[in-house]
Structure 1
Amino acid sequence: MSKTPPPSVQIHFYTLSILLFSLTFYGNSQASDQELSILLKLKQHWRNPPAIDHWTSSNSSYCTWPEIECEDGSVTGIFLKNINITNEIPPFICDLKNITTIDLQLNYIPGGFPTGLYNCTKLEYLDLSQNCFVGPIPADVDRLSPRLYHLYLVGNNFSGDIPAAIGRLPELRFLRLTQNQFNGSFPPEIGNLSKLEHLGMAYNDFRPSEIPLNFTKLKNLKYLWMAQSNLIGEIPEMIGEMTALQYLDLSLNNLSGKIPSSLFLLKNLTELYLRENQFSGKIGPTIEAINLLRIDLSKNNLSGTIPEDFGRLSKLEVLVLYSNQFTGEIPESIGNLTALRDVRLFSNNLSGILPPDFGRYSMLEGFEVASNSFTGRLPENLCAGGKLEGLVAFDNKLSGELPESLGNCGNLKVVMVYNNSLSGNVPSGLWTLVNISRLMLSHNSFTGELPDELGWNLSRLEIRDNMFHGNIPAGVASWKNLVVFDAGNNQFSGPIPSELTALPLLTTLFLDRNLFDGHLPSKIVSWKSLTFLNLSRNQISGMIPAEIGYLPDLLDLDLSENKLSGQIPPEIGLLTLTFLNLSSNHLTGKIPSEFENKAYDSSFLNNPGLCTSNPFMGIGLQLCHSETRKKSKISSESLALILSVAAAAAVLALLFSFIVFRVYRRKKHRFDPTWKLTSFQRLNFTEANILSSLAETNVIGSGGSGKVYCVPVNHLGEVVAVKRIWTHRNLDHKLERDFLAEVEILGAIRHSNIIKLLCCVSSEDSKLLVYEYMEKRSLDRWLHWKRRPMIASGLVHHFVLAWPQRLKIAVDIAQGLCYMHHDCSPPIVHRDVKSSNILLDSEFNAKLADFGLAKMLIKPGELNTMSTVAGSVGYMAPESAHTARVSEKTDVYSFGVILLELVTGREASDGDEHTCLVEWAWQHIQEGKHTADALDKEIKEPCYLDEMSSVFKLGIICTGTLPSTRPSMRKVLKILLQYSNPQEVYGEKDTAREYDAAPLLDTKPARMSDNNGSNFASNV
């Protein structure tokens, strides 16, 4: 039986309880005040980002702040994603003693790895992805909290080796190091992380390394992503012991040997990506990975048959095996898979009949089996699910008719079945599908007539080498979006309708080898984009219309083997033709003088009535009357004139050489013998190698600040580019400032798309900047060679940069600018981005050069005032011309001009007689003209029209008058990358990197002087 304490004891007990409660309350209050003080100190250190304006002492309930997580009234987590932090992480963040989670991703945090976090002893979750960290991960990284289970460092600039110490973080479950600049090794000690579930090290340039056997000890690993990591050797057979593995991506490496059979026994595996390696041999034979959703083994050297067990993969959605050496038939069971939506088996050696049930039980979206040896019919139910977007089956031996169901396939965009033995009528609905853009049926045995209407989106119609017949319908005038129309070698008849000339986007028209008769249409002014015109081997009569000579883009003209008569219109001589064939007609009179040369020797055969005034023209042409004597006289007079000019030129050359030699000797004597070399890279030459070669014969360019030399530096033939700045002792402060700016910036930054500054050599009266040499010189020389002939430069005079090369150059420069604006702290603004400051190496990789005007900003996004207006005419943003204010958006404007140069071929200062390129481009859009009309005629091919048009619009958006309307370079780069990664025939998505360009391209930029802004917005 318990006894009640005496009253005195009860009083002492109550007093003690009250005292303990008071002490606890006071202690909690004191800790709360301390944590609030630390948070406010963090806000101040990070320069008060607007996103956390509510962090104030008056709003002291910090546990209610959305960026803060608390437990028992104490801070345990900080979540500050994408709020524009630009300062380093301070060590005092660890004064928050109970903090377990730090998420600072998508900011601009600079500096090396934040070792101050070693003092966060309870840290469990650390995400520093997408920031601006540089340098190596420290060798003592294991000093991080032993409780750490989540470490994300994706998308930074960490370099060197991944240290072995990272394998000594015992609780680590998630380790993501993707998309950094690691160029050393990764440690096998990662295999000691027994609890690791997710490992990402993709897109790093590691030293060539094999997959460590130690990795197979990762029994809990579910996700392994090491695409483009410079892996070599074979996949260890023991990979089959990693039984938890669900996602494996080893694409874009140099792995070889056989794919281990044990890999296909992993029953938890859902996604397998091994594309673009060097694997060989057969797959299987047993496939037990029954949970596989996606398989991509493309672009290897795999052989044998497709395993029958693939038909047991009931969850399989994507099967990608293209560009291998597979043989035999496709297992019929694969056609019965109910989840299958994407099949890509093209470019193999497969044969036999296509499984007839493809599409019957699944929602097929893509079916690509081109470049094999399949026979029989196409599966009838390919579009049974109504989702099919692409049917690509060209270069096979298929026969029979096209499936009738394709005529009701509303999502269908592409049908490419050329080079087969298909026959019968084309399903009537197929011609008019609303989404169809490419219908390519050539080299088959199709019959029937063309419809009056086509799908409004159809841009490419190719039906060559079939048995189509009848007239081209008058309704052809409604085919407004047609770019390529190839109907050669069919049985079409009747006259060529005048309505055909109303197609404004048409670039290619082939109607050769048919039965057309009548006269050629004369009103062809709408063919402004026409590049190829082939009407040969018909029965067309009458005269050649003079209007053909006014087609601005025509390069290839073939009217041979018809019944044309009369003279060749002299207007045809206005064309710049790469091919001309008027043979086998009834033409008479003198051929235009522009074609009186050997290049057109065979262009006029079998026209007995034609003559030439050139006695050396040859092949089947008689000399026009009374031309012989006159020609002889002209030749004699020309010869005398040439000899006189040559003699005068020789004398002038000798005199000029003497003057140059004297000037050079005088300058050489003025050299200061004391030179200082400051290197930024490892060098294999000395200043003596440089100084001895600064001769006029080595000059390759010059600018406002001095000459540029190409200098050999050793016996191996290696060369460098040397930019020389003279100060002549009477110091030119501007040139000195340019020099210091370039050295300061280029000596500190490292990026593959920014010119590499090797060293600088300076004396009191001269300064030399030594760069890597770029063999192909500047971009403007390649874009505008017609106005700047490439003589004595090692370049090909008439070489034209194709669109893929131009797009790659745009991506390269965007990457360089993106690094400067978003990955450097403080950010760097170039201020003189232009095509002459973009240099190209031997492989046409582009690098940004000439940082003499560059300026490092104090704060990102903060306008900084310059003492002078900088930039170049045509590239200079409007705010630079009216004020001395500059930001990253200044470079965005200049880059937009370069995009317009790349897609139009025009110079920045060349719009028309009254405007520059930007004004011309904006006016083009505002007037409602077709974008295709603005594109460079020399590279405008149908398959690139969409890309080029989108990049044109992107250039328009980048050159908005108001800086606030221009996108960031990060956003611009994302859009360009979407185009630069070649997709599959009808549009494959890159699962590793999907970018959404639509929000930006839908932006409606404002212009200060636009009175018709609404029109522009709707057009863009």
Structure 2
Amino acid sequence: MSRSDTSCLSLLLVVLFLLLVTGGCRSQRAAAAGDREALLAAKREWGTPPQLASWDPAAAPDHCNWTGVTCATGGGGVVTGITLPRFNLTGTVPAAVRALKSLARLDLSYNNLTGAFPAAALHACAGLRFLDLSNNQFSGPLPRDIDGLSPAMEHLNLSVNGFDGEVPPAVARLTALKSLLLDTNRFTGAYPAAEISNLAGLEILTLADNAFPPAPVPVEFAKLTNLTYLLMDNMNLIGDIPEAFSSLTELTVFSLASNKLTGSIPAWVLQHTNLQKIYLFTNNLSGELPRNVTAMRLVEFDVSTNQLTGDIPEAFGDLKNLTFLSLYKNKFTGAIPATIGLLPRLRDIRIQDNQFSGELPPELGKHSPFANLDVGNNNLSGRLPEWLCASGTLYNIDAFNNNFSGEFPAKLSDCVTINNLMFYNNRFSCDFPAKVWSFPELTTVMIQNNSFTGTLPSEISSKISRIEMGNDIFSGSVPTSATGLLTFLAENNRLAGELPPDMSKLSNLTDFSVPGNRITGSIPTSIKLLQKLNSLNLSGNKISGTIPPGSIGLLRALTILDLSGNELAGDIPPDMGQLHLSSLNMSLNQFTGEVPPLLQIPAYSRSFLGNHLCASAADWGTNLPTCPGGARDELSRVLIILFSLLGGAVLIGCVGVAWLLFRRRKESHEVTDWKMTSFTPLDFTESDVLRGIREENVIVSGGSGKVYRIHLGRDEEGGGRMVAVKRIWNSRKVDEKLDKEFESEMKVLGSIRRNNIVKLLCCISSQDAKLLVYEYMENGSLDRWLHHRDREGAPAPLDWPTRLAIAVDAARGLSYMHHGCAQPVVHRDVKSSNMPKVADFGLARMLAKAGEPESVSAIGGTFGYMPPAHMLIWRRIVCRIRVQVKGEREGGRLQLRRRPAYQEGPPFDDVADVEIRDDTACLQDVLSVFTLGVICTGEEPQARPSMKDVLQQLIRCCRVPAEAETCRVE
């Protein structure tokens, strides 16, 4: 070939190359333009949310700079990723996504997306490797051809949604998977264990919190030797923990908690060289802990609430990375190894409710950032370790119901971080440090039934809300200032001096009990400032003088009053008759005069013995003499003369009256007999209850009747019992609706025995009235603690752990009703005034058994708390807001005014109650619970989780990382 021919050929190749490059650039620009249009179409399908305001070609021409958008490196504008978690998105996955041919990553987690799995849109994304749709409201079954997703898929996260049915076997044909997260859904069918075990590259597998059929732990998973994270709690697993799982040598997190496992803990679990977190709590495991522990990387170990026995092996002292050790509610015995106290990272020990003995490790807390000690209900003895607060991070000591002795540790008296001391029922002695009463974070001091001595300072820290120090040897006087104090119980000490003349700085007290002390002086008039007081016990002291009018008689919240065994004298002020007391004792004093007429009732027949009192009611049933003279005697004489003159006429009149009464009784179907049906052994009769049905005992008036608080006298030990009685009183024309409510409530509660559900003791009925007798909830309802904060008598704010514990208890009760009863129960009026125990079943109905017709179509309940299709807004434990918001109802649909805020992340200024907003350690749990509330009130019924799902999700919120132990609620 000549030189000219070669030159021509070279020129031709250059031209062809330029044409190809030019065509490629045009093709790339076209793809980029198509991707931008697809993003804009997706924005429109999502309703143009404000969170995507940056998706605006006019303001930002380059879509690669739009929020959450990632493009291919090297320019060109081809979209490879969309990452929009917590963006408050609604709807579903837009169909426009299918146009993003190069999309490799799609993260839409923690939004409010609904509908079925978006197979059509996602199957078109041939290069998708990362898909996260977790924490949304998707529902329905997964598609059987889910393997139509990209074969390159490595990460698939569908957890915390409402998917149901079975897990399709086709998921195992996504052979590139490294992460498969399907936990916290509503799967009830099978899951393909054998097929999943063929995903050789799988590193993360979560199937937890699903109602799969009961089955053994799938031994096939032993083939997944690359697993680092295996979460299978609460999925109805039975049988033993497989020995074959010892092949999972890469595991770091292993959870089989909240199942029904039996057998012992295999030795390999604690000999594993990579395991960091082990959760096996709430099963029925037995046997002892393995003796040979070589898992030097173990960080958290929780086997609480099982049937495990034996002691803590000495080898646990070799777990140098251990931060959290939870063994509570088992049958462990023996001593706690001293080497536990040498662990350098240990923060939290929970071993309560066992049978441990001996002393605590003497250097516990000296070598680690120790924060929490729960050892109550054991047989431990000796002294508390001196070093518990050496790191300055200790916040809680629960050491009650043991045999600890000695004095309060000197170094602990400087532990200003502590907020909870529970030392009751031990043998502690010597002075209780006075400086403890001024700790800035201290809220609870329960040190009763010891031998502590010392005095109380005149001013107590405003953070302290509860002091129980009965049956100790404290002296000094009652504090004059404790502005945050709600409960002060100091019976049988040596307190002396007078009550504070100015009690305004104790105005938050709800329970004030100091019987069996040496208090002198008189009752100050300023006691009327304790308007929140429910219980006042000053008995067994040396208080003298008179009761000032306008003092105790103005305490309208008071239900229990005991002034017995003092030296009080003079008249009983008439205004005390205005009190609605369930228990009254003013005996063994020096009172004179007449008992106020409003107090002359059978319930108080033994409340005034040992005084110099009289009564005007001769048939009162007491030994008090009848008051002499006065208008009553004159009236009696007039009546005697009158009846003597009209004796004959009365006889005739009686016959006529008897005939009229008989006729009226016949017309009204009056029946005087009462029928009592008991559901548990009782120590009272229907007469005891009927005597307490008086207006002064009314505590609630509702739509279907009144509720009375009735004290049923005193038992042999002087205690008695309190009950709540709901009365449905029929008019002459029987109200069928009220009859049905009564029958429903009796039918439901009479068959339920659950700690989380209010206990129905008996029912009493006649044709005139129907009575339900319940256990009495002394602390009132959750409504009072959440929503009456700006009223007089309001309780202290509830912290987040307490709110979460209440939510879990309520969910346990409702879950039992829905899933644990032979016939499921629908309450239909769940609200904070019917909590913390599930109460007020006036609208509950047993669901019909299969094939038995029964209508529950009527809309009933309190407006705002009915099923989501009928209501407005929840009153939430997170927000502390009322449910009914004026002007927010449109066609009966739920309008969640707080919904836009729940995905925005901290500080949740528009969501969290101000009283928990500053608890930064728990904000993620707050958001999770609020999100759960939003999901539970979704507009699509099939997307709402079951109560079993809700319960498990709340329980999962209690399981938090080590850096946020303050949020733990077990």
TM over 0.5, shorter chain: yes
Kindly tell me: are residues 571 and 84 of structure 1, through their superposed partners in 2, closer, same or farther at Cα, counting changes over 3 Å?
closer
Kindly tell me: are residues 574 and 518 of structure 1, through their superposed partners in 2, closer, same or farther at Cα, counting changes over 3 Å?
same
The AA in structure 2 aligned to 1:175 is L
- Do 2:434 and 2:454's aligned partners in 1 also have CA atoms closer than 8 Å? no
Q: Tell me the alpha carbon deviations over residues 563-606 of structure 1, each in whole angstroms, 9 at most, x when there is no partner.
A: 22233332222211111122222223332333434432332333
Counterparts of residues 269-288 of structure 1 (less than 5 Å): 269-288=275-294
Q: Aligned with 2:106: secondary structure? A: strand
**Structure 2: which 5+ runs fail to align?**
671-732, 760-765, 784-802, 812-828, 846-855, 873-881, 900-911, 920-927, 938-946
Counterpart check, 1:124 vs 2:133: no
What residue number does 1:509 align with?
512
Counterpart check, 1:138 vs 2:143: yes
Kindly tell me: are residues 88 and 585 of structure 1, through their superposed partners in 2, closer, same or farther at Cα, counting changes over 3 Å?
closer
Greater Cα offset, 532-541 or 95-104: 95-104
What residue number does 1:222 align with?
228
Kindly tell me: are residues 409 and 539 of structure 1, through their superposed partners in 2, closer, same or farther at Cα, counting changes over 3 Å?
same
Q: Distance between the aligned counterparts of 1:585 and 1:579, measured in 2?
A: 17
- Do 2:323 and 2:962's aligned partners in 1 also have CA atoms closer than 8 Å? no
Q: Aligned with 1:594: secondary structure? A: helix
Kindly tell me: are residues 719 and 75 of structure 1, through their superposed partners in 2, closer, same or farther at Cα, counting changes over 3 Å?
same
Q: Distance between the aligned counterparts of 1:102 and 1:93, measured in 2?
A: 10
Q: Tell me the alpha carbon deviations over residues 955-1010 of structure 1, each in whole angstroms, 9 at most, x when there is no partner.
A: xxxxxxxxxxxx99749769999xx99999xxx96318999999xxxxxxxxxxxx
Kindly tell me: are residues 569 and 49 of structure 1, through their superposed partners in 2, closer, same or farther at Cα, counting changes over 3 Å?
closer
What residue number does 1:519 align with?
522
Q: Aligned with 2:301: secondary structure? A: strand
Q: Distance between the aligned counterparts of 1:284 and 1:843, measured in 2?
A: 52
Q: Aligned with 2:262: secondary structure? A: strand
Counterparts of residues 132-281 of structure 1 (less than 5 Å): 132-188=137-193, 189-281=195-287
The structure 2 residue matched to 1:653, chosen from 663, 668, 683, is 668
- Do 1:535 and 1:558's aligned partners in 2 also have CA atoms closer than 8 Å? yes
What residue number does 2:537 align with?
534
Kindly tell me: are residues 218 and 536 of structure 1, through their superposed partners in 2, closer, same or farther at Cα, counting changes over 3 Å?
same
The AA in structure 1 aligned to 2:115 is G
Kindly tell me: are residues 138 and 645 of structure 1, through their superposed partners in 2, closer, same or farther at Cα, counting changes over 3 Å?
farther
Q: Distance between the aligned counterparts of 2:445 and 2:145, measured in 1?
A: 61
Kindly tell me: are residues 852 and 118 of structure 1, through their superposed partners in 2, closer, same or farther at Cα, counting changes over 3 Å?
farther
- Do 1:879 and 1:886's aligned partners in 2 also have CA atoms closer than 8 Å? no
What residue number does 1:850 align with?
859
Kindly tell me: are residues 601 and 993 of structure 1, through their superposed partners in 2, closer, same or farther at Cα, counting changes over 3 Å?
farther
Q: Distance between the aligned counterparts of 1:952 and 1:555, measured in 2?
A: 34
Counterpart check, 1:699 vs 2:757: no
The AA in structure 2 aligned to 1:61 is D
Kindly tell me: are residues 952 and 506 of structure 1, through their superposed partners in 2, closer, same or farther at Cα, counting changes over 3 Å?
farther
Q: Distance between the aligned counterparts of 2:833 and 2:208, measured in 1?
A: 35
Q: Distance between the aligned counterparts of 2:130 and 2:481, measured in 1?
A: 61
Q: Distance between the aligned counterparts of 2:376 and 2:861, measured in 1?
A: 53
- Do 2:843 and 2:860's aligned partners in 1 also have CA atoms closer than 8 Å? no
Counterpart check, 1:566 vs 2:570: yes
Q: Aligned with 2:385: secondary structure? A: coil
The AA in structure 2 aligned to 1:68 is V
Deviation at 1:167, TM superposition (A): 2.2
Q: Tell me the alpha carbon deviations over residues 500-548 of structure 1, each in whole angstroms, 9 at most, x when there is no partner.
A: 4641101111221112223222332211111111111122222233321
Deviation at 1:261, TM superposition (A): 2.2
- Do 1:814 and 1:972's aligned partners in 2 also have CA atoms closer than 8 Å? no
What residue number does 1:1017 align with?
none
Kindly tell me: are residues 504 and 424 of structure 1, through their superposed partners in 2, closer, same or farther at Cα, counting changes over 3 Å?
same
The structure 1 residue matched to 2:960, chosen from 961, 966, 991, is 991
Deviation at 1:176, TM superposition (A): 1.3
Counterparts of residues 31-50 of structure 1 (less than 5 Å): 31-50=31-50
Q: Distance between the aligned counterparts of 1:555 and 1:4, measured in 2?
A: 116
Greater Cα offset, 637-646 or 408-417: 637-646
- Do 2:184 and 2:953's aligned partners in 1 also have CA atoms closer than 8 Å? no
Q: Aligned with 1:523: secondary structure? A: helix
Q: Tell me the alpha carbon deviations over residues 473-499 of structure 1, each in whole angstroms, 9 at most, x when there is no partner.
A: xxx332221111122111222333323
Deviation at 1:790, TM superposition (A): 14
The AA in structure 2 aligned to 1:67 is G
Q: Distance between the aligned counterparts of 1:300 and 1:850, measured in 2?
A: 43
Q: Distance between the aligned counterparts of 2:735 and 2:447, measured in 1?
A: 56
Counterparts of residues 735-774 of structure 1 (less than 5 Å): none
What residue number does 1:100 align with?
104
The AA in structure 2 aligned to 1:584 is L
What residue number does 1:923 align with?
none
What residue number does 1:605 align with?
609
Q: Aligned with 2:309: secondary structure? A: strand
Kindly tell me: are residues 413 and 542 of structure 1, through their superposed partners in 2, closer, same or farther at Cα, counting changes over 3 Å?
same
Q: Distance between the aligned counterparts of 2:883 and 2:664, measured in 1?
A: 39
The structure 2 residue matched to 1:110, chosen from 108, 111, 114, is 114
Percent of counterpart pairs with the same letter? 34
- Do 2:476 and 2:495's aligned partners in 1 also have CA atoms closer than 8 Å? yes
Kindly tell me: are residues 391 and 132 of structure 1, through their superposed partners in 2, closer, same or farther at Cα, counting changes over 3 Å?
closer
Deviation at 1:107, TM superposition (A): 3.0
The AA in structure 1 aligned to 2:859 is D
Deviation at 1:244, TM superposition (A): 1.1
Q: Aligned with 1:78: secondary structure? A: strand
Kindly tell me: are residues 7 and 382 of structure 1, through their superposed partners in 2, closer, same or farther at Cα, counting changes over 3 Å?
closer
Deviation at 1:337, TM superposition (A): 0.9
Counterpart check, 1:548 vs 2:549: no
Deviation at 1:330, TM superposition (A): 0.6
Q: Aligned with 1:110: secondary structure? A: strand
Counterpart check, 1:877 vs 2:885: yes
The AA in structure 2 aligned to 1:446 is F
Kindly tell me: are residues 652 and 381 of structure 1, through their superposed partners in 2, closer, same or farther at Cα, counting changes over 3 Å?
same
Kindly tell me: are residues 611 and 848 of structure 1, through their superposed partners in 2, closer, same or farther at Cα, counting changes over 3 Å?
farther
Kindly tell me: are residues 892 and 698 of structure 1, through their superposed partners in 2, closer, same or farther at Cα, counting changes over 3 Å?
farther
Report how many aligned residue pairs link the two structures.
Answer: 780
The structure 2 residue matched to 1:359, chosen from 335, 350, 365, is 365
Kindly tell me: are residues 358 and 254 of structure 1, through their superposed partners in 2, closer, same or farther at Cα, counting changes over 3 Å?
same
- Do 1:259 and 1:279's aligned partners in 2 also have CA atoms closer than 8 Å? yes
The structure 2 residue matched to 1:596, chosen from 597, 600, 603, is 600
Provide the TM-score with structure 2 as the length reference.
0.70
The AA in structure 2 aligned to 1:533 is L
Counterparts of residues 312-327 of structure 1 (less than 5 Å): 312-327=318-333
The structure 2 residue matched to 1:396, chosen from 391, 395, 402, is 402
- Do 2:781 and 2:833's aligned partners in 1 also have CA atoms closer than 8 Å? no
Q: Distance between the aligned counterparts of 2:743 and 2:515, measured in 1?
A: 55
What residue number does 1:62 align with?
63
Q: Aligned with 2:285: secondary structure? A: strand
Kindly tell me: are residues 719 and 302 of structure 1, through their superposed partners in 2, closer, same or farther at Cα, counting changes over 3 Å?
closer
Deviation at 1:888, TM superposition (A): 4.9
Counterparts of residues 603-752 of structure 1 (less than 5 Å): 603-607=607-611, 609-618=612-621, 620-625=623-628, 630=636, 647=662, 649-653=664-668, 699-700=736-737
Deviation at 1:552, TM superposition (A): 0.9
Provide the TM-score with structure 1 as the length reference.
0.67
Q: Distance between the aligned counterparts of 2:182 and 2:319, measured in 1?
A: 32
The AA in structure 2 aligned to 1:163 is P
Query: Relative contact order, CA 8 A, sep 6+: which one is greater?
Result: 2
Deviation at 1:650, TM superposition (A): 2.9
CA RMSD across the alignment: 5.0
- Do 2:420 and 2:445's aligned partners in 1 also have CA atoms closer than 8 Å? yes
**Structure 1: which 5+ runs fail to align?**
656-695, 703-707, 721-772, 783-788, 816-831, 864-873, 894-946, 955-966, 999-1020
Greater Cα offset, 581-590 or 53-62: 53-62
Q: Tell me the alpha carbon deviations over residues 715-773 of structure 1, each in whole angstroms, 9 at most, x when there is no partner.
A: xx9999xxxxxxxxxxxxxxxxxxxxxxxxxxxxxxxxxxxxxxxxxxxxxxxxxxxx9
Q: Tell me the alpha carbon deviations over residues 696-731 of structure 1, each in whole angstroms, 9 at most, x when there is no partner.
A: 9893269xxxxx99999xxxx9999xxxxxxxxxxx
